[in-house]
Chains A and B, each alone.
Chain A
Amino acid sequence: GQNIDQPTEMTATEGAIVQINCTYQTSGFNGLFWYQQHAGEAPTFLSYNVLDGLEEKGRFSSFLSRSKGYSYLLLKELQMKDSASYLCGVMDSNYQLIWGAGTKLIIKP
């Protein structure tokens, strides 16, 4: 079967760095997406990785290792507004997005 694993919840301090991991087992691979979802709001697109390596976009970076079935989202210089759930989604061979359950990130002052 297809499976995406993420930690359920993480806590970090304002100004610090946090890494949210995602491991996956899917039927084929056509890229991995990270989305941010604030409470009561719709998910918004953060990043897309299809090749191995690190993609940097401001304070957020996303890493992919296809051989290990592993990705992480790195958030630097954490701000209170980064408190949200972070969703990992993998596009399988049928171009369907398979979603993890999401990681709730709590930022403390």
Chain B
Amino acid sequence: GAGVSQSPSNKVTEKGKDVELRCDPISGHTALYWYRQSLGQGLEFLIYFQGNSAPDKSGLPSDRFSAERTGGSVSTLTIQRTQQEDSAVYLCASSLGQGPGDTQYFGPGTRLTVL
């Protein structure tokens, strides 16, 4: 079946504009994760959803970042008033559940460049 998809694949925006990133998880996966990865760095956890609920928002860098998930499927990550330091690859992953051994499958990412 289809894997995790993300759109857009690349986004260039001007400082101060809002952007919306989309993630479509694997069908039937209840858990969905957002990560950020700067060039040559590891994965920075942002937020995760179990169904439509986000029990852990502790990784969101500031109140300019928000995310939602509807219908237990598609999720959107919104960054308001973008700053240059927001430039990174935003990765989405999904897993069947959130338990021992539940493997996370990653989408191809959205490369965000803030000018």
Binding site for B on A (CB under 8 A): 30-31, 33, 41-45, 48, 50, 87, 89, 91, 94-97, 99-102, 104
Neighbouring A residues of B103 by C-beta, 8 Å: 33, 45, 48
Bound-state Cα–Cα, A74 to B10, Å: 34
The answer to whether A102 and B42 touch across the interface, beta carbons within 8 angstroms, is yes
Chain A interface mostly helix, strand, loop or mixed? loop
* A87 in contact with B43 (CB, 8 Å): yes
Say if the beta carbon of B46 comes within 8 Å of chain A: no
B101 in contact with A42 (CB, 8 Å): no
Report which B residues bind A (CB closer than 8 A). 33, 40-43, 45, 48, 56, 91, 98-109
Q: Which residues of B contact A104 (CB under 8 A)?
A: 40
Inter-chain contact A42/B107, CB cutoff 8 Å:
yes
A101 touches B42 (CB 8 A): yes
B42, B48, B102, B105: the one contacting A100 at CB < 8 Å is: B42
| A99:B45 contact, CB within 8 angstroms | yes
B101 & A50 in contact (Cβ 8 Å cutoff): yes
Tell me if A95 and B109 are in contact (CB < 8 A). no
